[in-house]
Chains A and B, each alone.
Chain A
Amino acid sequence: MLTVNAFSLSLGDKTLIKELSFKIADGQVLSIMGPSGIGKSSLLHFLSGSLSSNLTTTGEAFLNDEALQTKSTQDRKVGLLQQMPLLFPHMSIIENLLFAIPADINKAERITMAQNALEKLGIPDKASALPKELSGGQQARVALLRTLLSQPDYLLLDEPFSKLDPALRRDVRAFVLNEIRQANIPALLVTHDPEDAKAMEGECLELGRE
């Protein structure tokens, strides 16, 4: 359960977000919509702990009743997925996946986990391919699985579908929702596209409407 209480965001003396509160249950996706510049991405940065210093925020965030703000980014166990898949171009697909699997798991099991992920994607033969050899849709899916393999406690999605072909989007959305449900963690999606929000079958908040 990810809880945000009375979150406000301002840039200088301009208030962007005022007193926003929500709760996201495990395995659920909350969508947040609104025009650009409203502070959607800043909300994600607030939750992931990488907010730039010229923005001021108030409010609290909890993960299963544990306060998040007091923790540094690396202690938060947060997964973030952005527009760009950000697969490391100099590592093969399986190396990208292995990179995310925690190091305390033994080697054989790590390889099995990565190979299972490849099976799930239907590309077991692409294990030692480089990211650029995959299609955009495949890259997006690999990026999601890589993030989930790092075993995050909550997931933040920053318009992860906007760079994909419209035809691909439907498949990738369904894939993402399915994976989040299986991982059973709360997820927050930020988007422009009402279709994205609808596909996530969860609550939807619209910012910037009085």
Chain B
Amino acid sequence: MPLKHAKWITGIITLLLIFPIVIGLVGTLLPAFAYFPPLGEYSISLVPWRNLFAQGEFYASLKLTLITGIAAPLLALWFALSLLAWGYQRPFFTKVEAALSPILAIPHAAIAIGLLFLLSPSGWLVRLFSPWLTGFDRPPNWITVQDPYGVSLILALVIKEMPYLLFVMLATMRSIKARESLQVGQALGYSRFTLWRKVLIPQLYPIIRLPIFIVVAFSLTVVDLALVIGPNTPSTLAVTLLRWFNDPDLSMRLMASAGAISLMLVIVVVLAGWELAHLLFSKLTRAERSNGKRFGLTDSLLRLGVVLGLLALLNAFLALALLPIWSLARRWRFPDALPSQWTWDNIDRATPLLIELTSNTLTIALIATLLACVISLVMLETKRRSYSTDHGKQHVFDWLIYVPILLPQIGFLFGLHVLLIYLNLNGDLCAIIALHLMYVLPYVYLTLKGPYLAYEEEYLLQANRLNHRPWRNYVLVKIAMLKPAIFTAFAIGFSVSIAQYLPTLIAGEGRYSTLTTEAVAQAASGDRKQVGSMAMLQAFFPIMVFWLAQFIPPRWTKWRLKFKKAFNTGLIEKDKMC
């Protein structure tokens, strides 16, 4: 990109990235110490903290958050490592790899709603075995989803996080020379799982540490998933805080801010504990790695992980398959495995609402993602330049971009909300798009980063020597050659935007609903046919965009040339005659 003033642009983008983060943090920190001008609170005190620590609900919620927030990433990591160790480089595994991106693309609320349909007492799993095995002709009054221990929430988190971790791991396989190590190790007589345990996983872990941290932070702070499938009264801390923030008694906000600060501290403590545990674990296993044993008892831990991981994947697919079934069902009485009557009526009836939700959702997602793509390209170009001048130095963007993903949305976004009110932007579409952009940008940037920096710059240099139109060449040569990467980044950004719940809710103040906010709001209400339709659409668009992003780039040039030929044949023929 023939950018001028790269230093200035870097500075401005850095400020634009830091500004909302600082405002969000300050906007949470000050109310936590009772400084909140909008409510006429100007004195610093510890009252919010005292109130918080006096709440029994805080401790109960915190316990649930710790259980779900630690168990889910641990299980997800275990399953993902097991599946990788089991399937890596085997022919059938490419199919599993192909199945990963749709699951990654689907908003987590849609998966949670599908799981609700699958696992609830009147859900499909019980129906499948009723009445012939269980003898139930009405739903049992078990508590299977939204259980007080958060087991169903953990399952939903694992289903969402395992594919992500697997995806990240697969991307790093080449850099640790996994294939070569396996060949060498197997020639030495080591079993596959033992090799993974002793050789590959220890190399893999440091590379995927940051994605793991993202997963841990997400598990500790997730709101929408927990609203749909998590426990109620007490709920996880993030959900409890959301309720406090939305309480009609505005002074609850101060206590909620103190709660949000403690949630941030919880993330730091859990991550520190996680690293400490990893350190201890690798100390303990170091001697075992070189004891020469070609098999080990702990191999079966990986074997078990494979079975459980596959079960989780199966759950995910069943859950997704149930969304369209519910939206097309007319009569579906309890023990029937499938609806007895089908109809389009549900969708017809919901059409006006669905059209409004869909247009809101798509407008926000398309604008936010397009902006994110352009900004990412500018950021990467300035990074590439600094790359060629001072080698190996970490660019400011490389760590700054992770901050929005790692900070808990709850609290932080309420701090930003105060700013939106000051700017008179609350409830404005621009504000929603801006908040979406903050969460879309990191994923787009990180997806584009590798391919953009690996681009063979000589092509562009040669183009500029051949004709001296740098901007045109940047688009027609560099951007055109990076098409596959840009399409993929767009698809990922798009799916991130579709999935956003809290940013839409807080910036939109209920004036703009999207498929996600409405599906989450109605998930509990019980009209499964309508919720099914919303969740289905919510899942449909990202899958569609992902598919297009895979389908179009390899065919683009062929199509373009065909189109040109059909359009230009006359011209070329005429030239020949001259």
Contact = CB atoms under 8 A, between A and B. Distances in A.
B465 A92 contact: no
B303 interface: no
A68 to B, nearest CB: 14
B466 to A, nearest CB: 4
Interface string A61-83: 00000000000011000111010
A100 B466 CA distance: 5
A53 B390 CA distance: 11
Interface residues of B, number: 26
B481 A102 contact: no
B297 interface: no
B572 interface: yes
Contacts of A103: 467, 469
Nearest to B565: A128
Interface in B500-549: none
A193 to B, nearest CB: 21
A73 B464 CA distance: 9
Interface string B561-578: 100010000011001101
Contact of A50 (B461, B467, B556): B461
Interface of B is mostly: helix
Given A82-B458, A108-B575, A150 B466 contact: yes
Interface residues of A, number: 29
A146 interface: yes
B459 interface: yes
A74 B571 CA distance: 32
Interface in A35-94: 48, 50, 53, 73-74, 78-80, 82, 84, 86, 88-92
A88 B481 contact: yes
A84 B467 contact: no
A51 B480 CA distance: 27
Nearest to A97: B466
A92 B561 CA distance: 8
Given A86-B462, A150-B466, 16 more contacts: A73-B465, A74-B470, A86-B458, A86-B459, A88-B459, A88-B463, A88-B481, A91-B557, A99-B466, A99-B467, A102-B467, A111-B572, A111-B575, A112-B578, A115-B575, A128-B561
Interface of B: 389, 458-459, 461-470, 477, 480-481, 483, 556-557, 561, 565, 571-572, 575-576, 578
Interface of A: 48, 50, 53, 73-74, 78-80, 82, 84, 86, 88-92, 99-100, 102-103, 108, 111-112, 115, 128, 130, 146-147, 150
Closest 4 CB pairs of A and B: A74-B468, A100-B466, A150-B466, A86-B462
